[in-house]
């Protein structure tokens, strides 16, 4: 199975209470690809500049991600983000965002990328997401992410993109903002009215919840990590685990969707243990499956009959 | 089994996006008692004023809560809280707090209340909590709640109270504030260094997490409620379900503690469905067990072997 992901490939400058990195490989497509490549063949689509070298390609190709459609823009500079996380790592300040080669990005997918079974539209301008969506007619499953910026300045376009996908993965607060519904169930239903049959609310340190059109609700806490070093990319690693797992399955029933949530949660939890891609680069398959098993243990309780007073 | 709870018995004036109540019975001890009385004999301890009448006693005595130690202060007025919840029900503004009879409250427990097997110290001034703790020498399990106010103005006293209990239930943010640890695992460990062997972080709409001294971690999402009408008392209903369930058990091992989390979650979810005590007053045992069963379903996933790429 092949997954095509379109999204940012970036250099990140990040400071957290545990240290800083002046310039490391980041971007949604990068984090997604590193996670999803545990499960499926991944093809990454996105623009990079002259400053993007062999070292970065090598990281991106960890576990075999295909970079044929990573577009090198001559004379351009790679997308750059500079952010800082504060004491509790739940709030961050963006010091600088340089779109650079993304400013004029028009995705041109190779036939191989167009033919992918599964497509993930990482958080980029919703018009661009839709262009890619239209090129991938054969995808049997399409998922997407977005962010508050597009809800603020391009809501109509965003909704038109949402209409074309099977699953929307969005931060909890953004889901509420998009729909004007403070209640998660109602917000998810409002999204499903637009088209998707699966809505995943990413809740950061509290985990993630999923609502599906058949009325099923499922929620998982985040895996408790001793030291969260850098949350950058956690949501994209989650998406990579979630979408990647589904890409490798024959069916997308409730049991599989729940397991996909677990794999997403596992990948996200490893992502935050170190800076950027550092932990997931050297992550092993055994570590992934072990964490999913741990996650099953720490969320399980055995219901037992009890006599209550009336 | 008998549970003694000491805490506020109050009149609440509450406004939420779904309506308002000018004056309804509230208070931590009230919400706790209504929930815990599904599982055990409950004895409520707290002061009320001349404005506290038969109608309020009747609600408090739902499912048999004993009110012999509800102290009527002649010429006094019952504790009063006036608050307003905003659009997403996660933030609230306190418009008025009148301590009234609580200002001079010195708990004098009857022998029957002192002899309780289980004690819950709801959120009140930590010196007063400790006075009660010292009167209940025979309790085999003691749990407590608190709030940011006491961390701010009476931290030393609060820590001395925490030293004497088995379990601390606290809002997530308060747990971090108390310990100066933004990481939940580290915050819980810091509390366990003080004495308790069980720490429960209440996470509002995201559920609750539990860390125990044996290193066990367990987390449950909140039960997804279609319409959250009024969150007031949800944490106390959670505590009532959690502590009440444990009071009815012979052992407090990990399986029982996890089930206690589920009962707490179930009671809290009913609490928020209507204003104040309205929903839990007429709640049935069957509804409680049904929700715990639902909760087991919406949190369960079946781990299944999968071949990952290396």
- CATH at residue B270: 3.40.1190.20
Check: CB of residue A12 under 8 Å from CB of residue A276.
yes
Quickly state the pLDDT bin for B289 (edges 50, 70, 90).
very high
Judged by CB atoms closer than 8 Å, whether chains meet at B308 and A289 is answered as yes
Judged by CB atoms closer than 8 Å, whether chains meet at A219 and B224 is answered as yes
**From edge to edge, which strands make up the β-sheet containing A79-85?**
A19-26, A10-16, A79-85, A92-98
pLDDT single digits (tens) A196-247: 999 999 999 999 999 999 889 999 999 999 999 999 999 999 999 999 999 9
Contacts of A293 in chain B (CB under 8 A): 303
Q: Which pLDDT score, from 0 to 100, does residue A89 have?
A: 84
**Is B271 among the domain residues?**
yes
**Is B308 among the domain residues?**
no
**Is B153 among the domain residues?**
yes
> What is d(CA A159, CA A242) in angstroms, rounded to the nearest whole number?
22
Q: What is the DSSP letter of B291?
A: H
Test mutation, B214, B301, B302, B304, chain A, max A CBs within 10 A = B301
Query: What percent of chain A has a predicted confidence (pLDDT) above 90?
Result: 94
Q: Which pLDDT score, from 0 to 100, does residue B306 have?
A: 87
pLDDT single digits (tens) A177-202: 999 999 999 999 999 999 999 999 99
**Is A211 among the domain residues?**
yes
Q: How many CB pairs under 8 A join A and B?
A: 152
Judged by CB atoms closer than 8 Å, whether chains meet at B296 and A303 is answered as yes
Specify burial of residue A197 (Cβ count, 10 A radius: 0-12, 13-18, 19+): middle
- pTM, full prediction: 0.96
**Is A250 among the domain residues?**
yes
Min Cα separation B3/chain A (Å): 14
**Is A310 among the domain residues?**
no
Name the residue among B57, B39, B46 with its Cα closest to residue B2: B39
Residues 114-173 of A with CB under 8 A from B: none
Q: Of B185, B224, B301, which is closest to A217 when you measure between CB atoms?
A: B224
Q: Residue B68 sits in which domain range?
A: 2-299
Q: Does position A310 have pLDDT exceeding 80, yes or no?
A: no
Check: CB of residue B12 under 8 Å from CB of residue B21.
yes
> What is d(CA A306, CA B126) in angstroms, rounded to the nearest whole number?
34
Q: Alpha carbon of A272 to those of A11, A33, A192, A230, B310: distances in Å?
A: 17, 16, 30, 5, 20
> What is d(CA B44, CA A171) in angstroms, rounded to the nearest whole number?
42
Name the residue among A205, A196, A201, A170 with its Cα closest to residue A185: A201
Q: How many domains does chain B have?
A: 1
Instruction: Identify the closest residue of chain A to B37 by CA–CA distance.
Output: A309
**Is B306 among the domain residues?**
no
> Which residues lie below 8 Å from residue A254, measured CB to CB, with a gap of 6+?
A212, A214, A216, A218
Quickly state the pLDDT bin for B186 (edges 50, 70, 90).
very high
Contacts of B303 in chain A (CB under 8 A): 259, 262, 292-293, 296
**Is B29 among the domain residues?**
yes
Check: CB of residue A205 under 8 Å from CB of residue A227.
no
3-state SS, residue B232:
coil
Specify burial of residue B54 (Cβ count, 10 A radius: 0-12, 13-18, 19+): exposed
ipTM: 0.94
């Amino acid at each position: 199975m092949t997954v095509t992901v379109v999204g940012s490939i970036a250099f990140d400058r990040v400071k957290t209470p545990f240290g800083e990195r002046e310039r490391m490989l980041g971007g949604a497509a990068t984090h997604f690809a590193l996670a999803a490549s545990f499960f499926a063949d991944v093809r990454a689509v996105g623009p990079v500049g002259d400053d993007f070298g062999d070292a970065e390609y090598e990281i991106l190709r960890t576990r075999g991600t295909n970079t044929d459609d990573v577009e090198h823009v001559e004379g351009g500079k790679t997308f750059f983000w500079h952010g800082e996380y504060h004491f509790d790592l739940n709030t961050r300040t963006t010091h600088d965002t340089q779109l650079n080669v993304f400013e004029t990005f028009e995705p041109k997918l190779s036939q191989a990328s167009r033919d992918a079974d599964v497509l993930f539209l990482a958080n980029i301008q919703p018009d661009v997401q839709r262009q890619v969506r239209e090129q991938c007619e054969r995808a049997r499953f399409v998922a997407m992410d977005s962010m508050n910026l597009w809800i603020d300045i391009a809501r109509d376009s965003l909704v038109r993109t949402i209409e074309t996908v099977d699953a929307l993965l969005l931060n909890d607060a953004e889901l509420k903002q998009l729909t004007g519904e403070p209640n998660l169930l109602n917000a998810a239903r409002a999204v499903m009215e637009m088209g998707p049959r699966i809505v995943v609310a990413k809740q950061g340190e509290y985990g993630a919840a999923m609502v599906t059109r058949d009325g099923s609700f499922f929620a998982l806490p985040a895996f408790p990590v001793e030291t969260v070093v850098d949350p950058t990319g956690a949501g994209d690693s989650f998406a990579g685990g979630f979408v990647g797992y589904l890409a490798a399955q024959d069916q997308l029933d409730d049991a599989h969707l729940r397991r996909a949530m677990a794999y997403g949660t596992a990948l996200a939890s490893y992502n935050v243990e170190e800076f950027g891609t550092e932990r997931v680069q050297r992550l092993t398959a055994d570590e992934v499956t072990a964490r999913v098993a741990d996650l099953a243990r720490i969320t399980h309780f055995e219901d037992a009959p009890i006599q209550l007073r009336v």
